[in-house]
Amino acid sequence: MLLVGIDLGGTAIKAGAISSEGKIVARREIPSALERGASDLLDRMAQLARDLGAQSSVGMGVPGLVDIAGGRVLQSPNLAVIERVRLVAELAQRLALPASSVHLENDANAAAIGEHWLGCGRNERDLLFVTLGTGVGGGLILDGGLYAGPGGMAGEIGHVVVDPDGPRCGCGSRGCLEQLASASAASRRAQAAGLPRSAPGNLVRLAQEARAAVGPERELLVAIGRDLGRGLASAISILDLRCFVVGGGFGAALDVMLPGVREGIAERCYGERLASVRVAQAELGADAGWIGAARLGMLRSRA
Ligand SMILES: [Zn+2]
């Protein structure tokens, strides 16, 4: 069976076709061009799915709060254009497929499914996928399947409070993990630490400097890692999780943050289990979202 997956982002739509055995058949990427409106966006997503050979199943991962039963996104700060649009019904109609063949999921949840299926979580029963991008997203796999909770918001590690006196967060709280360890937070912290070469958008450079030598860049990334570890510790305490998969653009700096991550976890968790906690870099990169979205076609048709 050929599965088509679409990962809708603020700047790009990434999509691909994959067999039910996990063999990638094709990949495509087009600009999101959100300014053209929802109807145009749906037309282009439908064309993309057709180009990829969609016949029986299409899955979509989208940022925001998703209403699975209603096939729409309730709230999406970065993609307001799709809020309340009946994405599943509209795409199904354009593809002449039954609505039951089109599947919708939050993008971080989709990426968690992707990494669990074919990425670095493939041998794990339970894991938390953490994406470090503009914000911090999360997707929770428990007992081998996605656990999204009744409102679809389970696993949102980005809003676990790490520092009660920390920066104010968009969610209304203070010192959330997102405000300390997202790509945006890292840029802000780099500037505050007087590391101008790592100005916003130059986190790759920051990580390179940190790898090259001991210095303020490495200190900063280890400190950010420590905050990340403190956040992950909450998930360990509640769920006894042993596997964390870190993705997103800034997740590429995990190797330099890792000593801090382990310190942060050790500081807030106890027991021999700490030795078996695995914090690993995501393997599928930008493909995780569309691969997980495609996989929805298999998971939901079985349900
Ligand atoms: Zn928050």
User: Distance, CA 175 to ligand 1 centroid (Å)?
Assistant: 7
Confidence band, pLDDT 50/70/90 cuts, at residue 302: low
Confidence band, pLDDT 50/70/90 cuts, at residue 196: low
Specify the pLDDT at position 152. 87
User: Distance, CA 1 to ligand 1 centroid (Å)?
Assistant: 40
Mean pLDDT of 152-161: 94
Joined together, the tokens standing for residue 81 give 């254009």
pLDDT in tens, 102-137: 999 999 999 999 999 999 999 999 999 999 998 999
pLDDT in tens, 273-294: 899 999 999 999 999 999 999 9
User: Distance, CA 132 to ligand 1 centroid (Å)?
Assistant: 14
Residues 97 and 154 in one domain: no
User: Distance, CA 212 to ligand 1 centroid (Å)?
Assistant: 33
Confidence band, pLDDT 50/70/90 cuts, at residue 221: very high
pLDDT in tens, 1-17: 899 999 999 889 999 99
Beta bridge mates, 59: 5, 103
Domain CATH for 262? 3.30.420.40
Residues 165 and 268 in one domain: yes
Domain coverage including residue 36? 2-110+286-302
Residues 37 and 181 in one domain: no
Joined together, the tokens standing for residue 78 give 């970065």
**Long-range contacts (CB closer than 8 Å, 24 or more residues apart) made by 168-177:** 170/77, 170/135, 176/136, 177/136, 177/227, 177/228, 177/230, 177/231
User: Distance, CA 9 to ligand 1 centroid (Å)?
Assistant: 21
Does 199 have pLDDT greater than 70? no
| Structural domain contains residue 197 | yes
Q: How many domains are contained in the chain?
A: 2
User: Distance, CA 174 to ligand 1 centroid (Å)?
Assistant: 7
User: Distance, CA 158 to ligand 1 centroid (Å)?
Assistant: 6
User: Distance, CA 136 to ligand 1 centroid (Å)?
Assistant: 9
Residues 128 and 277 in one domain: yes
Q: Mean pLDDT in the chain?
A: 94
User: Distance, CA 39 to ligand 1 centroid (Å)?
Assistant: 32
User: Distance, CA 187 to ligand 1 centroid (Å)?
Assistant: 18
CA count, 13 A, side-chain hemisphere, 41: 28
User: Distance, CA 128 to ligand 1 centroid (Å)?
Assistant: 18
Does 303 have pLDDT greater than 60? no
Residues 67 and 169 in one domain: no
Residues 104 and 134 in one domain: no
Distance of alpha carbon 28 from alpha carbon 64, whole angstroms: 23
Confidence band, pLDDT 50/70/90 cuts, at residue 188: very high
